[in-house]
Structure 1
């Protein structure tokens, strides 16, 4: 079963997804999301937790993890429709490409944590360091971004069952599944935002950031969108200006709610937290708006043109950029010697952001060319057989 509907010929835009080998809008969506990830990490690293404007900006940029999981569900389903795979071949192909870099970078960032440990901190033994590294691998806590790979691995494990179930349902069934997923997402956010004081519930909510159920709505949304992709694209192109207006309204509404909560005594870092139930609406609108922009922007690009070549280059290195950028950011903050914290201006933040982007691209490009590329970037080395 492969539900598709032709895009209306009166609608300007790309050919129906069912007629195309590659979705360039997905590459742009991924690239812009990674750019936003770097933005939120620069803001959080270079400003204080009680900085109200910074947290207001981070609130809007926090859509990135939800966008990633929506994109993952979308891409996996789209590829499964074109090249069906049974669970075991799917797992053999997908899991090592995430698990190996995850373990590699867990070691890298565990060592970075040792290097950046505050002076005067008690020095643990080697066995204690190894135990910490092991727990980091189990919990996704070696550095602040590695939880994403751990959740992705969980999604890979359940994806064959998810897509098989969705393909047996019609449009009404998909709407019901989305409704249930939305209700569960709200419940999970309420629970994490108001965790139990102790017991198993407290343990689960404390680790919710690294558990797939905490993001359940988004891969389901991506999978359903892929199952109805031609219809989704037609609707997005038809209502693109309405969607743009919706994004503006959602931005204003989210910031108003944030300011009201801060004025009411809520800490800025709490009011902008990812799992606040009030953020779900913004996340959904942000994902829709980013996809709309990506689809419209790439529709007029010439095959083989410079824009597509740049996008292909960036897409190929995007996972490496994601994995390496906190390392670059930590290095720049160390080199600055506190200058960023002392100045804190928009110009300083822009310079820090640009430096992190450039440094991450350079490192990702180098890693794609070394023999250990698969372990470091999840991709076969450039120039190697099969690359």
Structure 2
């Protein structure tokens, strides 16, 4: 999730910094994200009702739309919608092309404020559904966008510091996580901040290394999956629900369950995406 948020922040902020009109910006985001979010939240609730996973509780209905909890995967789309609203507010400062050190300082301050506000006052019900819970990834994505004219040089530098920060923060996170698993006293602030740093630094490292680790023979396959990623993302959980209901007794505990579900959860959405294109209903269904 942090990597997707960083990439979304990078791509959308790069367009804003190029001077794309705000009216066009919001219109496209409403079509590509807001409408699919509302539609698929409703579809998710209907499917859960059909398979007796939801009893039409009004509280669940409100939570589904206001916290991205229509189904477990839809919170990410809800977070992205908030990101789209936040980016234009950040654009003026990033037009000044701030340095990495200045960006990291602001990121640290904002992240600390968010953490303390939530710990002492807000007590957010679902912090993972709020964009401010991903400030480090958002800020790194925006910073990369503000320096996109020298992106290769930035990526070259980021391979070193991004990888080092990711490995160090992962080490700290794992130590604290093991303490939690062993039910030993653990520093919860260190747990959360190391998690944030690892998510952002690991995403930067992935962004920096992606051109070096690409496999040319997989390019066409990955391009196909990337072009249909929205459809796969929206549909695949419901394929799992249907398969679990259909083959509950047959595949329960089977070693083939995970690989079979993985293949089917890619092929079925791809097939439906192809049909949606043929029938010209892809945009109203998926926003793409």
TM interval, shorter chain, is: 0.7 to 0.9
**1:206 offset after TM fit, Å?**
0.5
Change (3 A) 1:348 1:255: farther
Cα distance in structure 1, aligned partners of 2:160 and 2:81: 36
1:63-107 CA-to-partner distances (Å, cap 9, x unmatched) read xx211211111001222344x223223212222221111111011
- Matching of residues 123-272 of structure 1 within 5 Å: 124=56, 132-167=60-95, 169-172=96-99, 175-189=101-115, 195=119, 201-202=122-123, 205-237=124-156, 240=159, 251=170, 253-265=172-184
- Matching of residues 1-387 of structure 1 within 5 Å: 65-82=1-18, 84-117=19-52, 124=56, 132-167=60-95, 169-172=96-99, 175-189=101-115, 195=119, 201-202=122-123, 205-237=124-156, 240=159, 251=170, 253-265=172-184, 276-298=192-214, 301=216, 307-337=218-248, 342-343=253-254, 348-379=257-288
Cα distance in structure 1, aligned partners of 2:112 and 2:248: 42
Change (3 A) 1:135 1:259: closer
**1:335 offset after TM fit, Å?**
2.9
**1:240 offset after TM fit, Å?**
4.2
Structure 2 stretches of 5 or more lacking a match? Answer: none
TM-score by length of 2: 0.81
Contact 2:97 2:147 in 1 (8 A): no
Cα distance in structure 1, aligned partners of 2:261 and 2:246: 11
Question: Which SS does the other structure have where 1:147 is aligned?
Answer: helix
Contact 1:106 1:133 in 2 (8 A): no
Cα distance in structure 1, aligned partners of 2:273 and 2:112: 37
Question: Which SS does the other structure have where 2:206 is aligned?
Answer: helix
Across the aligned residues of Structure 1 and Structure 2, the Cα RMSD in angstroms comes to 3.3
Q: How many equivalent residue pairs?
A: 285
Structure 1 stretches of 5 or more lacking a match? Answer: 1-64, 380-387
Change (3 A) 1:186 1:369: farther
**1:342 offset after TM fit, Å?**
3.5
1:331-367 CA-to-partner distances (Å, cap 9, x unmatched) read 2222331666645x5x643343333233333333333
